[in-house]
Structure 1
Amino acid sequence: MLKSERLKTILQIVNTQKFVTVDELAQALKVSDMTIRRDLNELHKFNKIMRIHGGAQILSDPSRIEKSYKQKREIHSKEKIEVAKRACNLIHENDSIYVGPGTTLELMVANLKVKHLRIVTNSLPVFEVAKNSPNNYDLIMIGGSYRRISGAFLGALANSELATMSFSVGFVGVNGIKDTSMTTANLEEGQTEKIGLDHSQVKLIVADYSKLDHSDFHQFYDLRDVDGLITNHGIDPELEKHYSQFTTIYK
């Protein structure tokens, strides 16, 4: 197969499947992993696909391009602070908690009142906030491949570390919740958050009401499998009624 034909085929596969790994493409096209990586890098260079660790995914709709964590800090800031403080009320002395990436979770850690706590996170911004706390928390940073746009560490190393731990409570954010689907912009980020939730005795989602009834690229968890959704007091009554079918609403 000529290179031009191979690139066209790869692009068709990515656009159809939304996400594909290097191994899957190598097997489908009967070429080496190295050849596929070069092809993916070329397609990414010309803005045909989004290159991610281990494979590629379809380009997002320009209107839904993922914002960086610094940009997200400026959006719905009042609502995020309200939700963050409410989440703090569900943390108790001597808890061991997993905190995923997200600006609302940064605010949660910044507003903690408990004195004795173990915090495990794969988010560099969350780690920095916890490190600067006047409380001397037992703080564990999960390593891995760094995703600059969200400030999160992901991938096999992060996942294997998290899988050896257990937590009293796990807190994760979302880019959107649509019915029972909890979604995020990046597959690997979702995989790591899933492991954090799976190893938590109590699983809690922290999301202001702008995230409800919206979805993003990757579904990483089912709302029916979590213990609660922490959101704003001013949530629309119809939305509250709808989502309370699937989990407990804290508002």
Structure 2
Amino acid sequence: MLKSERLKEILQAVSTQKFVTVDELAKVLDVSNMTIRRDLNELAKSDKILRVHGGAQLISDQSKTEKSYKQKREIHGKEKIEIAKRACNLIQENESIYVGPGTTLELMVANLKLKHLRIVTNSLPVFEAARNNMNDYDLIMIGGSYRRISGAFLGALANAELKTMSFSIGFVGVNGIKNNALTTANLEEGQTEGIGLDHSQMKFVVADNSKLNHSDFHQFYDLNDVDGLITNRGIDPEVEKHYSQYTTVYK
């Protein structure tokens, strides 16, 4: 079977079943799993499918509206906990850290075991998670215009405050990463996160593997300019290799 015919068969399968696995496609098309992974990555790069762990799913199956932080808490919970604990290991005692909005970052600050930290955030849910941590951290809440859907404070006031500060490490979440582009749903929220990263000596982005090869409305930062992408162990080897050309992948 020609490659063009194989790609058409894959698209038809994804369109009909909404989700297909690499194993299923390899068996039906009588090719290796590696060949199917290459085909899926090619289709994902052209925005014809959404690449997910173990297979692919229909892009139109994804919600076109941004989910609230409460809804996001229910998605990929196991992966987020894994990533959050890995991120905790990058932090050392007595550091000042910037933590942007995101449910994985809520879990990160909730799981911190260090005794002495300064945590600065513009996310109300992250602030609450840090406040409820058993350790008595020095917490700073950045003010600004409140965006209810994400629980983040942003805009001119938030940006001005962040520009006066310096951090040992900055952590941000994303709605999607496509090649070198870190993307989010809201321009102002992305701008505020970008300033937090700019004022951090070390910069990290946290994203479970479902966010990879997927983009949202606004590109707010370049993956080449961060020190690491922290993701879960379920990342496809070829996807990991692709993103390793932009930054260090921690999994």
Given the two structures, how large is their TM-score scaled by the length of structure 1?
A: 0.75
Whether 1:229 aligns to 2:215 is no
Q: How does 1:37-76 map to 2 (within 5 A)?
A: 63-76=63-76
Q: What root-mean-square deviation, in Å, do the aligned CA atoms of Structure 1 and Structure 2 show?
A: 1.1
What is the match of residue 178 of structure 2? 178
How many residue pairs are counted as aligned between the two chains? 191
Whether 1:250 aligns to 2:244 is no
What is the match of residue 219 of structure 2? 219
What is the match of residue 204 of structure 1? 204
**Cα displacement (A) at 1:62:** 8.7
Q: Distance in 1 between matches of 2:149 and 2:158?
A: 17
Q: Distance in 2 between matches of 1:62 and 1:112?
A: 32
Q: Distance in 2 between matches of 1:152 and 1:138?
A: 19
Q: Secondary structure at the match of 1:201?
A: strand
Letter in 2 for 1:218: H
What is the match of residue 191 of structure 1? 191
What is the match of residue 129 of structure 1? 129
Q: Distance in 2 between matches of 1:62 and 1:160?
A: 35
| Cα deviation digits, residues 197-249 of structure 1 (max 9, x gap) | 00000000011111000000000000000000000112100000000000000
Letter in 2 for 1:213: N
Q: Secondary structure at the match of 1:146?
A: strand
What is the match of residue 162 of structure 1? 162
**Cα displacement (A) at 1:155:** 0.4
What is the match of residue 85 of structure 1? 85
Q: Distance in 2 between matches of 1:112 and 1:63?
A: 32
| Cα deviation digits, residues 104-136 of structure 1 (max 9, x gap) | 000000100111000000000000011111111
| Cα deviation digits, residues 143-184 of structure 1 (max 9, x gap) | 000000000000000000000000000000000000000000
Runs of 4 or more, structure 1, over 2 Å off, are: none
Q: Distance in 1 between matches of 2:151 and 2:200?
A: 22
Q: Distance in 2 between matches of 1:230 and 1:193?
A: 17
Percent sequence identity over matched residues? 84
Structure 1: gaps spanning 5 or more residues: 1-60
Letter in 2 for 1:80: K
Q: Distance in 2 between matches of 1:225 and 1:62?
A: 29
CA contact (8 A) 2:110 2:130 kept: yes
The higher relative CO (CA closer than 8 Å, separation ≥ 6) is in 2
What is the match of residue 118 of structure 2? 118
Q: Distance in 2 between matches of 1:87 and 1:64?
A: 29
Q: Secondary structure at the match of 2:195?
A: helix
Q: Secondary structure at the match of 1:71?
A: helix
Letter in 2 for 1:121: T
What is the match of residue 147 of structure 1? 147
Q: Secondary structure at the match of 2:221?
A: strand
Given the two structures, how large is their TM-score scaled by the length of structure 2?
A: 0.75
Q: Secondary structure at the match of 2:71?
A: helix
Q: Distance in 2 between matches of 1:64 and 1:214?
A: 13
What is the match of residue 138 of structure 2? 138
Q: Secondary structure at the match of 1:196?
A: helix
